Structure 1
Amino acid sequence: MYTMRFDHELNLLDIRWIGLFAPEAVGAYAEDLARRFAAEGFKSGYLLRMDMSASAVQTQDAVAAFRRSFDHFPAASRIAIVTPSALAKLQVRREMTQSYMRIFDTRCAAMAWLTDTADRAAA
């Protein structure tokens, strides 16, 4: 259902979702991510790219489970969401209201924005 990679050089957490999350699977995903996040030594201020392009729009029950499970997760400095789906973009915009979050159609565009140091300095 997901893969995650920690890039220490870029301070990047790179996650890919595949398919739908059952509401009861969200807790295990959150626990796995928190465990690996701590083991990798990541802290608040990291970059996050979440590729949802192989994932469908999530059910409202799953969205509620995500909200509960990630309420106290360490904050990123930038979040780039990847999805070409218009419906998924609407869902993301409704749920993720951080001013440092942007949505992109491609992984490359997301990475370019995440690593644009001139843009980050201006923010």
Structure 2
Amino acid sequence: MATLGHPVVHFLYADLLSAVWRVFQNWVEMGTLRRIHHLVAKVHLHLAGFEAGGSEEQVLRYWFSVLRGLWALGRRLVHSSAGGGRSVLKRSVENARSYYTLSWVNTRLIPSPFLLPH
């Protein structure tokens, strides 16, 4: 973003497969999410994720901590849609899906002057 001179990204769609949780964690820690207005991502639940592991409870706590980090930076979930499959952490779960597409908006982003009415 800095190299290209983009102080704000207005819309970002991410389908990072099992890496989504580590990428989100990195974006939270580095502050990158502060500069993204609308984030849509497909989150996969059938596997723990890239570089994530441990017991099922540890993985769920990790996922929750990443989502809590999104919330702490002002992300608010505005839409979700269920994908296919019924596997969560390699287990068949009747009332769940293997992935979801989630849409968040940044409630703390200072609007770009290009988006303000003239």
Shorter-chain TM-score tier:
0.3 to 0.5
Higher alpha-carbon Rg: 2
TM-score (norm 1): 0.40
Higher relative contact order (CA 8 A, sep 6+): 2
TM-score (norm 2): 0.41
Structure (1 or 2) with the greater strand fraction: 2
